[in-house]
Structure 1
Amino acid sequence: QFSRQTAFKSLENLNKTRLKNYFLLTKEEQEEEMNKIYYKHVYYLLLISSQTISFIPFDSLDDQLFIEDHLDLFEIFIRRIDQRMPKESDGQRTLGIIGERILTFLWNLTDRIILIPILLRTNLAENTLKWIQQSDSLTEKSRRAFPSILQNIARHDQGAEKLNQFDAIEILKAYQQKKLEKTGSRKLLISMAIALLSTPEQLKDNKKGMNAVLNQLLQLVIDSFGSDRFRSDGIHVSEPLQVLVKLFVVDERTLDYILNHAETECSSNFVSTICLFIEIFLQFSDSLKQSDRVEQFTLIATTNVLWSISFLHYSKEEFLKNKLFIRTIKKINEDLDENDIIQQYKPKSMENIQQAIQGILHNLDFQQESTHSIQNRTGQKWIMISYCHENIDLCNEISKYLKNSIKDLNIWIDQTHTDGSVDLWESIAQGIEQSTAVLCFLSEEYFQSKSCRQEFVYANDSLKKPIVPILIKSFQPKGWLGYIRMTGLKYIRFKDENQLEEKKKGELLNTILALLSIKTDEPKESLSAPRPIDEIPSNSTNEIQRWFQSNRLSKDFYDLFQFETREELLDYAQLLFKDPERQMNIYDKIYSQKYHGKQMASHEFLRFTKALKQFVQADSSSISSTQVKSKICVLS
């Protein structure tokens, strides 16, 4: 409350006409005797407001309206910086003490991410991009705030969208090439901003130097988490965590690198890195009961990071070892209030705290069967729809079309079947379990959503439900949604969401009708490609263990991977074939940890690789033979 009163009173004083006019005086005019009296007033008011503003959460509407009422003052600040920017590159110049104080204030104000949509109305985004292009001849102190302000703006989706309207990525890359920033953290800020502004395709194409950036990100998490107020060089621990959340969704290679290969000052490994993220989670686990929005955002970001890690089957053991973590995450899930979720801003790349926590619990096999009464649906025709909310209009149109075309068809969709008082994931899991088939609307947004991934993996991998993929526009399945899971599945593509082709709608209808005519207890294999019988007869653990034995692979080797299904074998095969040497190094470390320093035999890993190649080739041949017969497109 003291910080709020002090900051707001300082801004009210700065907003007085005489002081506002002072900001726009030329250097010569400010030196006039009658104007010198204002200098100290302005200096100390800026100093006090910039230091106290960072302690205000701005979660109340009144506080946000106060900032909105002072936008004209902030526009004068921007004009002041604009006037003092050097027009020519002729040596090191300074923006002056007042100019540097203004930039420090704007840096701290933009750190309150909830304010970004309001501050965008001052044209701060485009002006800061212009300033950073002109900053060659500024001293380090005078240009120091520019990367921080831009990175803060990029942390909000609306800010990122605004920056991208002015070619921010190219401007920041050009600034990187100038090598003006000397310290690691200042350089990293530019890389973090570029990552937040980039599309998934841009991030994947920008592989040069990515490992160095990932090393710095993890080191920044370590340094800031261990520092006062969880900040290192002015950067809060939540900032690198937010970037990691986006990178983990876009490219699973980054997750593998952070966990197994990242180079930090104190050597890190798979176990220590998971423990680090768990420690951060535990540190901020009570934040939902408090009013600090930065701490709440940190908890959301960390939980999203842990959710991404929990998709890796070999991480389960490390999570389960930490009893305090398990107790804490279960307790938060039980106590979570819906109001804790809807009031906290989060970017599109993150899921809310409830979805992330329930996703982790599901991946760790803690989600229990529903205790709620379920209507008996025996004999009824049910289709479950899995989609991302950005594609809701297409989803609703297809849903309406199917209902009108198929008598007595029941469609499970979250809009009508999720009860706010019931565990959200529990409701969705029920919908998947009780459906005859799952209709998945696949798009870039679907691919980036961990909630959608959870639904798809549970339906396809765990329950072996028939999947009907609808590909939206030009989207091509990739990553976790790519070849491994999509091979052999019949799909329908709608290129234009606003004008659906009747022929494609007919193909979809026929596909659904064919599925509904099959008894619900018929195995999935009859709906898609036949499995190579001689390789792995079933998905049981015993059969997989016998496959290892038949290929002369030891029990230690089988226990190292702990594959439970045929799909997991195929999943890992694609990773292995891309870079066998790298995978051997990864599992050599895991083997050593698991068997107390014992070294993995390289010849056994090579034998395993050869056997897996034979298995995949047999599987591919079997799938190819069925694709020729299909009248509907098949992913290959």
Structure 2
Amino acid sequence: MSEEFQQIHDLYEKLHEILRTNQSLALNDVLTDISNLATHLSLVFSSIPIDTVDIFEYILKSCLELLDTTEFIDIIVQHHSVLWTSFIGSLWKSLTDIHGLDIIDRMTISGRQHMFYRLLDQLNLSKSLEAFLQTNVCSQLTSVEQKTRGFVGCILILTLRQLRVLITNSTDLELDKYQTNLFPRLFHFLDDYFATNERSQTDLLVHEILLFFVDISGLTKTIPIFIQINCPQLCLQWLTLPYLSLDEYEFILRIICNTARHDDGVAILRYHKCHQILNQFRNEISGQILAFILDSEKKEYCMLTCFITMVLCYQSNELNNDSIRVFINDYLIDAIFCTIYDSKLKYLGFHLAEFWIVVMKLCRDDYYMNCILENEKRIKMLQLITGNFLYYSDVTRINDLSGRLTLMALINILWSISFHPRYRKDLLEDLIVIERLETIRLNDQLDKVVLFDYTPRHVYSLKRAADGVLHNLGGKTSIPISPCFPAKNSVFSLRISYSHDDMHFCRELYDVLVKLPQLSISIDFQNGKYLWNEVAQTIQQCHLMLLLVSPSFYQSSSCRQEFIYATSTLKKPFISILIDADYQAKGWLETRVKHICFGQEDFQTNVDQLLSLIGEQLSIELPSVSSLTNSKNIQQWNSSDVQQWFVNHGIKSELYEFYQFKSGHELLLYAQAMRGYQWTKEYERIRLRFEGRFSEQQQHLSSYEFLKFINALEHLRNKC
């Protein structure tokens, strides 16, 4: 412990003793000494940098503990508020000075993480902070109460600033323990603040809380925590308010954008009409605000964030072609170039990996891919993509998360490009690219590390994507075609090709087809675990392909490769099932698909039509779906059957305990009662009772979990 640290420690011990004994005169001297030490803390940095960080942690924790004492209000607030204000000002200045240096970067990852959680635990345990966050901002307060709130707010700001600089890529490991107390309180405070059109001294604190959540939500694994506390819908709701500041809109937009990087986040944003709200914000609110803003970067940031979120959340058939073309030519390409030439590979807060992932998503659609590669700026994007691919495949190391994401995005982009003859020739001529793809295909070292990261479903592994590119280029991965053997013992092989976004529908269909003794079903439930070699051999040996067509199927490189290989290369018989009655196949899919459309009638009728088509294709007789269903129908289910239904659909087990359905009949009655009833109202009614029931376990019911239950009920009702 350094001399300065010892002095601070002794002064705080003395301060507590003085407060306990109410020695008012001595208190002046101690507060003055603490203030002077806080003023000169930045000087300690030059001799003992790490000790300076420890001192700040000690001071912040001591202040939070002090705020929880009655003596703080009775003595310091009422009689020594000027000296305390001076101390806070000194601490504020020193902390600002030190954050401008590289002191935190010198700490170990483990050291930063432990300090982060120690401070966060202190916030979580603070009773004064809990009271502060739960007090309505419009409440009429006495002078003492106002001063107390001001001091609590200042310490919270300083602590949040320190927490933000301590965040690392590993910070997400234990954050879920704050989703039942601290995080909901902070969001409640924000929601209460935004509900009033009043600007006050609280603005700075609001900005710090938002910035803290911007940084935390940037760790993609934390998004399920944000969903549990209803953060996405709150942020979307705040975005519709016309009186927030531009900074507040920017922070809220970024949290929404970060949420869209996670598959569960996409699901909840889509449900709460993110597209409609973002368009309304761009057309009505941001236009009015940005018209008076001279800072072009702020305008660009708002546009980039809105469009990136929409691209991540929505399929190409749901986007406006003209708007996306403008986004590509006026914003996206320029942003990529600015990021590449930045020493930290960042532009307006976005990392290069984020821009390449957007390009990857857009390139799954042929129209948008052409907009990028044949852009109005005459920039040779294909050369830029291959050049970046070669660079990152060479320099990316195992512990470089951003580098791995960048490389994964680039190789997925190359996979989409390789489907097109007009660009395939350029790729074939680049022997270095082909050689590097071969190296990646044969080495899964980086892919093994990626297993511990979060990657969205639409981002394929390095090895799988390299395999796909090389197959399209006709490289060494070309599979020798073996003959399809006749059905053995009158059992025909059926291969189901689908997007993993449609897993729920696929499993429902599989559960019916697998009961047919005449069929052997081949399907990948492992989300792209198998390499192309294994997939191709399975397709070769099948007698019939079943294609589950949807917008996600269209945007999946893996589905596209299976489709082309089965229908064009092997000329396999196939049946296309259009999952969504409102979806119209487009692009490479449009001219090749004749389909049976699910959704226009009930599931059982559609399956009967499908079985009839399968029977015609294979020249066999198949029974109707009614004869395949379990003799124990839903009306005959007991409580164990109902519990198994909850498990099969991945529904929160506590919901089963909460409802305690005794039979399938009760479950079906509830499903029928929910028909035409607004699920959000039912959610609000159930949520309070649910959280009261499981208060000891600190269990919360998110709208996302409840919606999963409602969707499963709808499928159950449609089957009956």
TM-score by length of 1: 0.68
Letter in 1 for 2:339: S
Q: Structure 2 CA distance, aligned partners of 1:159 and 1:246? A: 16
Letter in 2 for 1:329: L
Deviation at 1:419, TM superposition (A): 12
Given the alignment of the two structures, is residue 42 of structure 1 paired with residue 42 of structure 2, yes or no?
no
Do the aligned partners of 1:383 and 1:410 also contact (CA within 8 Å) in 2?
yes
Distance 1:234 1:164, change over 3 A: same
For residues 37-74 of structure 1, give each alpha carbon's deviation from its aligned partner in whole angstroms, at most 9, with x where no partner exists: 54553232211212332x3244xxxx433343365222
For residues 346-378 of structure 1, give each alpha carbon's deviation from its aligned partner in whole angstroms, at most 9, with x where no partner exists: 33433333322211111121243569xx99975
Deviation at 1:160, TM superposition (A): 2.3
Deviation at 1:239, TM superposition (A): 2.3
Unaligned runs of 5+ in 1: 515-636
* Structure-1 residue corresponding to 2:210: 103
Letter in 1 for 2:233: E
Distance 1:16 1:471, change over 3 A: closer
Identity of aligned residues (%): 23
Deviation at 1:412, TM superposition (A): 4.7
**SS at the partner of 2:517?**
helix
Distance 1:84 1:248, change over 3 A: same
Given the alignment of the two structures, is residue 184 of structure 1 paired with residue 289 of structure 2, yes or no?
no
Q: Which residue, out of 125, 128, 139, partners 2:235? A: 128
Bigger Cα displacement from structure 2, 285-294 vs 190-199: 285-294
The correspondence of residues 410-559 of structure 1 with structure 2, limited to 5 A, is 412-414=522-524, 424-472=531-579, 474=581, 478-486=585-593, 491-495=595-599, 496-498=602-604, 500-513=606-619
The correspondence of residues 228-239 of structure 1 with structure 2, limited to 5 A, is 228-239=343-354
* Structure-1 residue corresponding to 2:387: 279
Given the alignment of the two structures, is residue 355 of structure 1 paired with residue 461 of structure 2, yes or no?
no
Unaligned runs of 5+ in 2: 1-108, 291-297, 621-720
For residues 400-458 of structure 1, give each alpha carbon's deviation from its aligned partner in whole angstroms, at most 9, with x where no partner exists: 36x624xxx76654469x997xx621011122334455343333432232111101111
Q: Structure 2 CA distance, aligned partners of 1:308 and 1:137? A: 43
* Structure-1 residue corresponding to 2:249: 143
The correspondence of residues 614-629 of structure 1 with structure 2, limited to 5 A, is none
Q: Structure 1 CA distance, aligned partners of 2:577 and 2:238? A: 46
* Structure-2 residue corresponding to 1:309: 417
The correspondence of residues 393-408 of structure 1 with structure 2, limited to 5 A, is 393=507, 396-397=510-511, 399-400=513-514, 404-405=517-518
The correspondence of residues 176-325 of structure 1 with structure 2, limited to 5 A, is 176-177=282-283, 178=285, 179=287, 180-181=289-290, 182-203=298-319, 206-215=320-329, 216-249=331-364, 251-263=365-377, 267-268=378-379, 272-285=380-393, 290-325=398-433
Q: Structure 1 CA distance, aligned partners of 2:415 and 2:166? A: 35
* Structure-1 residue corresponding to 2:506: 392
Q: Structure 1 CA distance, aligned partners of 2:225 and 2:395? A: 25
Q: Structure 1 CA distance, aligned partners of 2:549 and 2:592? A: 13
For residues 115-148 of structure 1, give each alpha carbon's deviation from its aligned partner in whole angstroms, at most 9, with x where no partner exists: 10112222222222222222x4343334331111
* Structure-1 residue corresponding to 2:117: 8
For residues 572-620 of structure 1, give each alpha carbon's deviation from its aligned partner in whole angstroms, at most 9, with x where no partner exists: xxxxxxxxxxxxxxxxxxxxxxxxxxxxxxxxxxxxxxxxxxxxxxxxx
Q: Structure 2 CA distance, aligned partners of 1:32 and 1:503? A: 71
Distance 1:394 1:162, change over 3 A: closer
* Structure-2 residue corresponding to 1:597: none
Q: Structure 1 CA distance, aligned partners of 2:547 and 2:192? A: 54
**SS at the partner of 1:385?**
strand
Deviation at 1:168, TM superposition (A): 2.4
Distance 1:322 1:307, change over 3 A: same
Q: Structure 1 CA distance, aligned partners of 2:604 and 2:397? A: 44
Q: Structure 1 CA distance, aligned partners of 2:426 and 2:328? A: 22
Q: Structure 1 CA distance, aligned partners of 2:170 and 2:405? A: 11
Letter in 2 for 1:327: E
Q: Structure 2 CA distance, aligned partners of 1:97 and 1:125? A: 22
For residues 273-307 of structure 1, give each alpha carbon's deviation from its aligned partner in whole angstroms, at most 9, with x where no partner exists: 11222233334436885234443333322222221
Do the aligned partners of 1:284 and 1:298 also contact (CA within 8 Å) in 2?
yes
The correspondence of residues 157-168 of structure 1 with structure 2, limited to 5 A, is 157-168=263-274
Do the aligned partners of 1:218 and 1:262 also contact (CA within 8 Å) in 2?
no
* Structure-2 residue corresponding to 1:562: none
Bigger Cα displacement from structure 2, 302-311 vs 338-347: 338-347
Do the aligned partners of 1:385 and 1:438 also contact (CA within 8 Å) in 2?
yes
Q: Which residue, out of 448, 461, 479, partners 1:339? A: 448
Do the aligned partners of 2:471 and 2:478 also contact (CA within 8 Å) in 1?
no
Q: Structure 2 CA distance, aligned partners of 1:47 and 1:212? A: 37
Q: Structure 2 CA distance, aligned partners of 1:261 and 1:30? A: 63
* Structure-2 residue corresponding to 1:56: 169
Distance 1:288 1:393, change over 3 A: farther
RMSD: 3.5
Distance 1:361 1:399, change over 3 A: farther
Bigger-Rg structure (1/2): 2
* Structure-2 residue corresponding to 1:85: 194
Do the aligned partners of 1:81 and 1:99 also contact (CA within 8 Å) in 2?
yes
Distance 1:475 1:45, change over 3 A: same
Given the alignment of the two structures, is residue 155 of structure 1 paired with residue 283 of structure 2, yes or no?
no
Do the aligned partners of 1:341 and 1:353 also contact (CA within 8 Å) in 2?
no
Distance 1:330 1:3, change over 3 A: farther
Q: Structure 1 CA distance, aligned partners of 2:313 and 2:144? A: 40
Do the aligned partners of 1:440 and 1:470 also contact (CA within 8 Å) in 2?
yes
**SS at the partner of 2:121?**
helix
Distance 1:95 1:220, change over 3 A: farther
Letter in 2 for 1:330: E
* Structure-1 residue corresponding to 2:30: none
Distance 1:148 1:243, change over 3 A: same
Deviation at 1:149, TM superposition (A): 1.1
**SS at the partner of 1:87?**
coil
Distance 1:130 1:239, change over 3 A: same
Do the aligned partners of 2:113 and 2:166 also contact (CA within 8 Å) in 1?
yes
Q: Structure 1 CA distance, aligned partners of 2:418 and 2:483? A: 33
Q: Structure 1 CA distance, aligned partners of 2:133 and 2:514? A: 60
For residues 180-222 of structure 1, give each alpha carbon's deviation from its aligned partner in whole angstroms, at most 9, with x where no partner exists: 345213222112223333344321xx23432211121222222
Letter in 2 for 1:150: I
Q: Structure 2 CA distance, aligned partners of 1:94 and 1:257? A: 47
Do the aligned partners of 1:370 and 1:426 also contact (CA within 8 Å) in 2?
yes
Distance 1:395 1:455, change over 3 A: farther
Task: Report how many aligned residue pairs link the two structures.
Answer: 486
**SS at the partner of 1:79?**
helix
TM-score by length of 2: 0.60
Do the aligned partners of 1:351 and 1:449 also contact (CA within 8 Å) in 2?
no
